C-alpha cells in the first residue's frame, strides 16, 4: 500500500509534474482533495522557510502527512534574483510573461547568464519535519523558446542540453529537473520508512 501524502500546493502544473514523477509509489492528494481552500501565505525569506510554512500549516490543521515545496530561479548576475520571489518578481503573483520579461530586461548586456533552478521540500511525516533539496544548473537564453512547462521554463536551458525546459516533454524535464531531484530524495526516504 503506497503512502498517502498531501502536496500543499494550488499550482496545477506542480501537481501534474509531481504526480507524473511519483506514479503509483505515492497516493498523492491535493489541497482540493482535502477540501482546503485556504491561501497559505508564503512569508518566508528563503525557500526552506516557505516550504516549511506550507507543510506545517497543513499538518497542524488537518493532522495529515504532507509536504510543501518552494522553488525558484536564481540568476548569478542578478545576485541570485528572483530567488524566493520568483513567482511575483514583476509584481503580480503568477504573471509568468512579466516575470520572464523582467529577467531578460535585467540581463541585457550581461555576458554571464548562469542560473540555477532550486527546490526545497519540507516533509511533515508523523509529526517530524524532513528537508529535501534539488538543484539544476543552466543558462538563461536571450529569448523564449518552447511552449511546454511553466514559469521561467521558456528561457532556462539546463546544462548539457541545447533546448529549454519548455521545449522538453514532461518526461524529459522530470528526469533532470530540480523538483524531480528533490522528489526522488523524498520517495527514497519514504520507501525506507514504509517498508
- Residues 18-45: pLDDT tens digits? 888 887 888 899 999 999 999 898 899 9
Taking residues 58-80, report their average pLDDT.
97
Radius of gyration, alpha carbons of the chain = 17
pTM exceeding 0.85? yes
Rounded to an integer, what is the distance from CA 60 to the centroid of its chain?
22
Residue 56 has a pLDDT of 97
Rounded to an integer, what is the distance from CA 23 to the centroid of its chain?
18
Residue 39 assigned to a binding site: no
Residue 80 assigned to a binding site: no
Residue 164 assigned to a binding site: no
pLDDT tens figures, 107-159: 999 999 999 999 999 999 999 999 999 999 999 999 999 998 889 999 999 99
> Reduced to 3 states, what is the DSSP secondary structure of residue 157?
strand
Dist. CA 159–CA 171, nearest whole Å: 17
Residue 38 assigned to a binding site: no
Q: Residue 37 corresponds to which cell in the numbers above?
A: 481552500
The dihedrals phi and psi of 35, each to the nearest 5 degrees, come to 60, 40
Dist. CA 175–CA 88, nearest whole Å: 27
Residue 52's domain spans which residues?
3-194
> Reduced to 3 states, what is the DSSP secondary structure of residue 152?
coil
Local confidence band at 55 (pLDDT 50, 70, 90 cut-offs) = very high
Instruction: Give the catalytic positions in this structure.
Output: 70
CATH number of the domain where residue 49 is located: 3.90.950.10
Local confidence band at 1 (pLDDT 50, 70, 90 cut-offs) = low
Burial 168-189 (b: 16+ CB within 10 A, else e): beeeebbebbbbbbbbebbbee
| Total of domains in the chain | 1
Amino acid at each position: 500500500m503506497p503512502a498517502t501524502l498531501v502536496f500543499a500546493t494550488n499550482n496545477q502544473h506542480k501537481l501534474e509534474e509531481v504526480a507524473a514523477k511519483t506514479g503509483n509509489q505515492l497516493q498523492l492528494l491535493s489541497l482540493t482533495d482535502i477540501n482546503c481552500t485556504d491561501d497559505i501565505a508564503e512569508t518566508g525569506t528563503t525557500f526552506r522557510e516557505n516550504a516549511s510554512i506550507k507543510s506545517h500549516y497543513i499538518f497542524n490543521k488537518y493532522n495529515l502527512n504532507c509536504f510543501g515545496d518552494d522553488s525558484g530561479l536564481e540568476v548569478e548576475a542578478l545576485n541570485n534574483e528572483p530567488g524566493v520571489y520568483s513567482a511575483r518578481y514583476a509584481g503580480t503573483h503568477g504573471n509568468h510573461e512579466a516575470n520572464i520579461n523582467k529577467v531578460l530586461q535585467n540581463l541585457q548586456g550581461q555576458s554571464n547568464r548562469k542560473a540555477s533552478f532550486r527546490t526545497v521540500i519540507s516533509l511533515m511525516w508523523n509529526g517530524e519535519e524532513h528537508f529535501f533539496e534539488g538543484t539544476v544548473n543552466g543558462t538563461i537564453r536571450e529569448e523564449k523558446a518552447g511552449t511546454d512547462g511553466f514559469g521561467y521554463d521558456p528561457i532556462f536551458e539546463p546544462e548539457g542540453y541545447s533546448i529549454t525546459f519548455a521545449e522538453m516533454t514532461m518526461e524529459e524535464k522530470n528526469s533532470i529537473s530540480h523538483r524531480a531531484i528533490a522528489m526522488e530524495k523524498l520517495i527514497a526516504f519514504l520507501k525506507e520508512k514504509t517498508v
